[in-house]
Amino acid sequence: MTKFALLLLLLALAAYGQQEQKRVAILNTEGDGDLIYLSVRLREIAVKMLPKNNYSIMTAESIIDKLGSKENAKKICTEAQCLAEIGRKVSAAYVGQARVGNFGGNFTISMELYNAASGTLVSSFTGNAKDLFGLLAIIDEQAPILFKELPGTSDIASAPSPQQEPLQQPNTNMEQQAKIQQPYDENKMSTLGYFALNFVPGFGLGSYIQGDITSGIKLSIADVVGWPLTILGILAVMKGNDVDLGWALAISGGSIVCVSRVMGLIYTFNYTKKYNKSLEEALNSNSNVSLSIDPLIIPRDGTPAVGLAFNVRY
C-alpha cells in the first residue's frame, strides 16, 4: 500500500512538472536612445506566439523584482558575461535580448535567444534599416520565426503583428519631412547680416533689404534725427559757444541713435521669425511648394527703395 501511494505521488509530481510553465525573459533592448518600445514589441509577439499552457512571458517589472532592484538589475546585466547567466538569476528557462547599433549610417538590430540552463543559442536574427520603424518591421517579420524554435511551437503559424501596417505610416511622414527640410534650410532667413547693416551704416538699410519697409522707414527717421543732433551737439561743445545746450543735443541725439540700433535688432529678429514661420507653413501645406527670392528696386516719390520679392508657387 505504501509503495502504491508513493508511486501515485511520483506520478502526480511528474504531471505537475509537465504542466509547469517555462518562463521566458526578454530583457530591455540595448543601444543608444529610448528603445523600450522594441522590447515591448518582442514581448507582445512572444505572448501571441508561445502556447500559454507551456510558457509565461516575464514582464520588465518581474525581471527587476527577481534581481532585487532597478539599480541592481543594471549592475547584474552589465557584469553578467552572457545572457544565459542573467536568465538563471531570474529563474527563466529561456532568455533573449535585442541590441541596436549603427553601421554605415543605418540602424542595425541583432536578437539572440538562449537556453538559460545550458547556455546554448536557440535562435537569432539580424537586420538593418534606415530608421526605427524599419527595425520594427524586421522584428514583426523575424521574431515569430525566432520563437517558433522553442519546444512545442513548431505547429503554430507565424503571422505578423496586426499593428505592423499602421506603423509604416510614420516612415512615409519622415521621408516627406526630409523633402520639406531641404528647401526650408536653403531658403530660410537669418538675422545677423540684416542687423549688421542696420547697425552700420544704419538708416534702416538692413530692414529695407530684408523686405521690412515699415521698420526701415522708422529706423531711417531715427538716424536722420539722431545723427545731426549728436554732431551739432559735439561741435557746440568743442567750440564752447553753448556747452550746456551742446551736451543736451549730443546726449539726445546719441540716445536716439542707440535706441535705433536696439530697435534694428528687434525688427530684424521679429521679421526673420515671422518669415521663417510662414515659409515652414507653406512648405508643410504642400510638398510641391517652390520658393524664389528676387531683389526689387521700387521708386517711391522719386526715391528708389530697395526690397525683396518672395514668390511661392504651389
Confidence of residue 53 (pLDDT cuts 50, 70, 90): confident
Q: How many residues does the chain have?
A: 314
In a domain, residue 6? The reply is no
Nearest to 255 by CA among 220, 232, 222, 217: 222
Same domain (yes/no): 119, 63 = yes
The torsion defined by the Cα of 9, 14, 16 and 22, in degrees rounded to 10, comes to: 150
Q: Are residues 269 and 227 in the same domain?
A: yes
The pLDDT of residue 292: 57
For residues 187 and 119, membership in a common domain is answered with no
* Residue 235 and residue 156 share a domain: no
- Same-domain check for residues 23 and 158: yes
Residue 10 lies in a domain: no
- Residue 98, strand partner residues: 111
Could you give the C-alpha distances from 130 to 22, 36, 120, in angstroms and in order?
A: 36, 19, 31
Are 99 and 130 part of one and the same domain? Answer: yes
pLDDT tens digit sequence for 94-123: 998 898 988 888 889 999 999 888 888 889
CA distances to 155, 197, 272 from 186, rounded to whole Å, are 56, 22, 14
Residue finishing a domain among 116, 137, 164: 164
Same domain, 151 and 51: yes
Give a yes or no: residue 83 inside a domain.
yes
pLDDT in tens, 258-272: 998 899 889 888 988
In a domain? residue 222: yes
Question: Are 113 and 62 in a shared domain?
Answer: yes
- Tell whether 272 is covered by a domain: yes
3 lies in some domain = no
Average pLDDT over residues 177-190: 71
309, 237: one domain: yes
Q: Among 121, 139, 164, which residue terminates a domain?
A: 164
Cell for 220? 531711417
Q: For the segment 154-168, what is each residue's pLDDT rounded down to a tens digit?
A: 655 444 444 444 444
- Choice between 218 and 171, residue whose per-residue pLDDT is larger: 218
The answer to the question of residue 12 being in a domain is no
Three-class secondary structure of residue 56 per DSSP: strand
H helices present in the chain, as ranges: 2-19, 36-49, 60-67, 70-79, 83-89, 132-147, 169-187, 192-199, 205-210, 213-239, 243-285
CATH number for 106? 3.40.50.10070
pLDDT in tens, 11-45: 544 444 444 678 887 888 777 666 788 888 899 99
Q: Are residues 64 and 156 in the same domain?
A: yes
CB contact at 8 A, 202 and 261: yes
Q: Average pLDDT in the 159-181 region?
A: 52
What pLDDT is recorded for position 168?
Answer: 47
Model confidence pLDDT, tens digit, residues 280-292: 777 776 545 455 5
In sequence order, what DSSP letters do the residues of 119-170 get, joined into one string? Answer: --EEEEEEEEESSHHHHHHHHHHHHHHHHTTSTT-TTSPP---TTTTGGGHH
Q: Count the domains in the chain.
A: 2
Domain-ending residue, one of 113, 135, 164: 164
- The boundaries of the domain holding residue 204 are 178-313
Res 177: pLDDT: 63
Give every CB contact of residue 260 below 8 A, 6+ residues apart in sequence.
Answer: 202, 219, 222, 223, 226
User: Is residue 13 domain-resident?
Assistant: no
- Judgement on whether residues 72 and 204 belong to the same structural domain of the protein: no
CA distance 185 to 256: 36
**Backbone φ, ψ for residue 239 (5° rounding):** -80, -20
Grid cell locating 49 = 506566439
48 exposure class (CB count in 10 Å sphere: 0-12, 13-18, 19+) = middle
What's the N-to-C CA distance of the chain in angstroms?
94
Predicted confidence (pLDDT) per residue in 198-218, tens digit: 888 889 888 889 888 998 899
Residues 108 and 192 in one domain: no
* Residues in CB range of 146: below 8 A, 6 or more apart: 96, 111, 113, 123, 124, 125
